[in-house]
Structure 1
Amino acid sequence: MSLPEKAFPVSWDQFHRDARALAWRLAGASGANGKWKAIVCITRGGLVPAAIISRELGIRVIETVSIASYHDYTSQGELAVLKEVTPALLENDGESVLIIDDLTDTGKTAAIVRAMMPRAHFATVYAKPKGRPLVDTFVTEVSQDTWIYFPWDMGFTYQRPIAEDHQG
């Protein structure tokens, strides 16, 4: 029997604060030459934090890598690389490059991108225990059985009080 899923809804304001907190941490961990040369964001989840971090750190070059997971939203299936990273950013195994994503969950996506750029600095806003060892910097850790509802996945609807979920 699996543990019950815990909901962790994140508002736009909270996500912006958390992404800026990640930028603060990354400002002190710049690349080998003292400056990050580019961001590689993992699409789609990495797009929003990459935009915020690029602004905060003054990084103009933003590249994407697209990894698709074919799943039914309860389990992660096979992964496929839909878009590779520009070869120039793969030089020196990605040294001085920031890899950005919203979340590391199981670590499967992170492992694929980490293998492409083993010397890049991998940062996520949120991390779960299984994926945490694959990232260098993150802001908030949540339990493995927590489902994060990102603001771009939500509409404005009524939220039931937590106590109602725990009544007999």
Structure 2
Amino acid sequence: MSKSPYRIINRYNPTTFKINYTPEYKTFTQHHIATDRSHPLYIAQKRRQAERSKEGLWWHVTTGVDLSKSSCVRTWARRRLRNAVREELQQRGYNHAGTLVDTAALKDRPELINVLRQGRSLDLKGSLRLHVLAPLIPAKYTVLCAETGEMIEKMLQVLTAESYQQPSLRNTGARPRKQQFLIKS
């Protein structure tokens, strides 16, 4: 059975944030307005969602009340993670929306240059939700940047995959044995 290469991204478990990724364009936040037909803003919200362009990487950062009681700390943590993601995207030649804008940043990456030569796009696509975890608060910014950089590298690894379906890497154990039939006379 073959598995999706997007599992590479979702299986990466950094210590400072949690990742939810899908190659489809959708918002991970709950939209009570867009799902409640009796809400007065239902039609406007549905139209706004339908008109949103389905290109680039839709990403956002969330926090929970369990992170801190203070909204100031939660806002600071979200901003810190957002800045780290933007910085790592910029170092790799991408803008904040995951669109490749600086091909000069790829000069040391022959596998990515080969993808461009094949005529395929290196723009990041899909929806990404990053949820802040408590270890982000005391973590050094360099550690945070390293983890976000590793996440972006996993996304680039998916882009360089030859196909969207790869064989499973799960160890199935020993080879199945041939059955022997005994004929009794």
TM normalised by structure 2 equals 0.26
Higher strand share: 1
Work out which of the two has the higher radius of gyration on C-alpha atoms and give 1 or 2.
Answer: 2
Higher helix share: 2
TM normalised by structure 1 equals 0.28
Q: Which has the higher contact order (CA 8 A, sep 6+)?
A: 2
